[in-house]
């Protein structure tokens, strides 16, 4: 029997500093997120980051937390429920960090008699720190606890026509309301080093990004190429004029160079250079979360206004968009046929 497992990133259990610390510990000790050798990673995470970051992050989570819990979890649960209603096979939901765990998601499917699982990382663009860590962990758990199960994973869907269509439509409806002068596509950032590590050709990736428009097998796993491609395809669909949209990368952590340009710098420069109406879309996330609601919807917005901007629109993620639910359910139904 077939089943599907949707997997998102996960959130702390609550906004307490202790719960946020436990969550960040699990998240940042993942070698595909902070990719230094174990002893260095343990020193940096447990000796430095976990001393200060949990308090700051807990305060940020408090600003966006809902009575039902973390927006990322609540929105993922709603997505799961609606996808289950539109599919013919059992579908479960899991988180890479925190609860519900991937192991419990696999267990729930196995308990329903499932032996073939469609693993769906809920990230449109591939990254070692997002998609790959889910696929690796799920395979490890299957091998250890559920050897009768086979896993098939959904590749990054950054350029799938139906996804681009749904994303474009949802952006278009917001643009019609807010009529911005500029649309910024802000993707979650990555340390530049991660791009090189994921380059399967070992020679294609240039840190300056000049490689990302030259066709290469490396692009199957190149986060930056995939972000550019999602943007290009949406821009084509919406007939966006050259110069009326751009790409940037948000949420950096630590002192290493991350993929540029940085969203916070770009937004401040826009405001300082006289741009008055800005809309920001965040297509690296399918469900709204801390990084969209707080970092963009609150922090970036105040910074834009403080620097002279007047109107700032944070475009919601696809969340419970009906066509997105139909699209995702369609991928599952097609696989199950």
Ligand X SMILES: C=CC1=C(C)c2cc3[nH]c(cc4nc(cc5[nH]c(cc1n2)c(C)c5CCC(=O)O)C(CCC(=O)O)=C4C)c(C)c3C=C
Residue 53 is a binding residue for ligand X (CB under 6 A) = yes
293 binds Fe ion (CB under 5 A): no
128 forms part of the interface with Fe ion (CB under 5 A)? no
146 interacts with, out of Fe ion, ligand X, none, CB within 5 to 8 A per kind: none
**Cβ atoms 155, 221 nearer than 8 A:** no
Beta bridge partners of 188: 250
- Tell me if 24 contacts Fe ion by CB under 5 A: no
Nearer to Fe ion, 15 or 87 (CB): 15
The owner of tokens 């994973």 is 153
Window 137 to 156, contacts with ligand X (CB under 6 A): none
Alpha-helical regions (H) of the chain: 17-28, 38-42, 50-64, 71-85, 102-111, 133-145, 161-178, 192-197, 223-238, 263-272, 290, 301-306, 322-336
Establish if 188 lies at the interface with ligand X (CB under 6 A): yes
Give the dihedral sign, CA 222/228/233/234.
Answer: positive
Binding-site entries: 188, 291
By C-beta, is 32 or 108 nearer to ligand X? Answer: 32
120 part of the interface to ligand X, by CB under 6 A: no
Contact call for residue 42 and ligand X (CB under 6 A): no
Is residue 72 near ligand X by the rule CB under 6 A? yes
Query: Could you tell me if 108 and 146 are in contact, meaning their C-beta atoms sit under 8 angstroms apart?
Result: no
119 binds, among Fe ion, ligand X, none (CB under 5 to 8 A by kind): none
CB–CB of 329/86 below 8 Å?
Answer: yes
- Residues 6 or more apart whose CB falls under 8 angstroms from that of 83 comprise 6, 91, 325, 328, 329, 332
- Stretch of 109-117, 124-132, 154-162, 232-240 contacting ligand X, by CB under 6 A: 124-132
Sign, Cα dihedral of 107, 108, 111, 113: negative
Residues whose CB is less than 8 angstroms from the CB of residue 269 and which lie 6 or more positions away in sequence, other chains included: none
Number of residues that bind ligand X (CB under 6 A): 23
Does 95 participate in binding Fe ion (rule CB under 5 A)?
A: no
Cα distance from N-terminal residue to C-terminal residue, the chain = 11
Q: How far is the CB of 312 from ligand X (least distance, A)?
A: 20
Residues 218 to 257 in contact with ligand X, rule: CB under 6 A: 223, 251, 253
21 touches which of Fe ion, ligand X, none (CB within 5 to 8 A by kind)? none
Cβ 217 to ligand X, closest distance in Å?
20
Closest listed residue to residue 181, CA positions, set 312, 51, 59, 296: 312
**34 contacts Fe ion (rule: CB under 5 A):** no
Instruction: Give the residue ranges of the annotated binding site for Fe(2+).
Output: 188, 291
Q: Rounded CA gap, 304 and 282, in Å?
A: 16
Nearer to ligand X, 129 or 279 (CB): 129
Q: Which of 211, 235, 281, 314 binds Fe ion (CB under 5 A)?
A: 211
CB of 290 vs Fe ion, minimal distance in Å: 9
Quickly tell me which residue has 């199960």 as its tokens.
Answer: 149
- Positions touching ligand X (CB under 6 A) are 9, 11, 24, 33-34, 53, 57, 70, 72, 123, 127, 129-130, 188, 190, 223, 251, 253, 284-285, 289-291
């Amino acid at each position: 029997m077939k089943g599907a497992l949707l997997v998102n990133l996960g959130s702390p259990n609550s906004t307490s500093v202790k719960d946020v610390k436990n969550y960040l510990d699990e998240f940042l000790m993942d070698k595909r997120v902070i990719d230094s050798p174990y002893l260095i990673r343990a020193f940096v995470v447990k000796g430095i980051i976990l001393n200060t970051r949990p308090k700051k992050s807990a305060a940020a989570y408090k600003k966006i937390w809902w009575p039902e819990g973390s927006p990322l979890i609540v929105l993922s649960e709603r997505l799961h429920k609606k996808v289950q209603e539109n599919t013919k096979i059992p579908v479960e939901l899991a988180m890479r960090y925190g609860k519900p765990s991937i192991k419990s998601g696999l267990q729930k499917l196995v308990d329903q008699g499932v032996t073939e699982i469609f693993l769906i990382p809920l990230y449109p663009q591939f990254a070692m720190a997002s998609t790959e860590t889910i696929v690796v962990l799920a395979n490890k758990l299957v091998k250890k606890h559920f050897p009768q199960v086979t896993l098939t994973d959904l590749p990054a869907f950054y350029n799938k026509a139906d996804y681009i269509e749904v994303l474009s439509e949802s952006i278009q409806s917001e643009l019609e309301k807010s009529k911005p002068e500029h649309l910024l596509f802000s993707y979650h950032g990555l340390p530049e080093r991660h791009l090189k590590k994921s380059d399967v050709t070992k020679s294609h990736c240039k840190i300056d990004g000049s490689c990302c428009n030259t066709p290469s097998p490396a692009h199957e796993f190149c986060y930056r190429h995939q972000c550019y491609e999602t943007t290009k395809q949406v821009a084509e669909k919406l007939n966006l004029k050259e110069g009326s949209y751009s790409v940037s990368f948000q949420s950096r952590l630590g002192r290493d160079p991350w993929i540029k340009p940085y969203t916070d710098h770009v937004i401040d420069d826009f405001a300082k250079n006289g741009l008055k109406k800005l809309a920001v879309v965040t297509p690296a996330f399918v469900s709204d979360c801390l990084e969209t609601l707080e970092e963009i919807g609150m922090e970036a917005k105040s910074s834009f206004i403080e620097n002279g901007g007047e109107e700032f629109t944070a475009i919601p993620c696809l969340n419970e968009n009906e066509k997105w639910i139909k699209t995702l359910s369609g991928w599952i139904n097609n696989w199950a046929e």
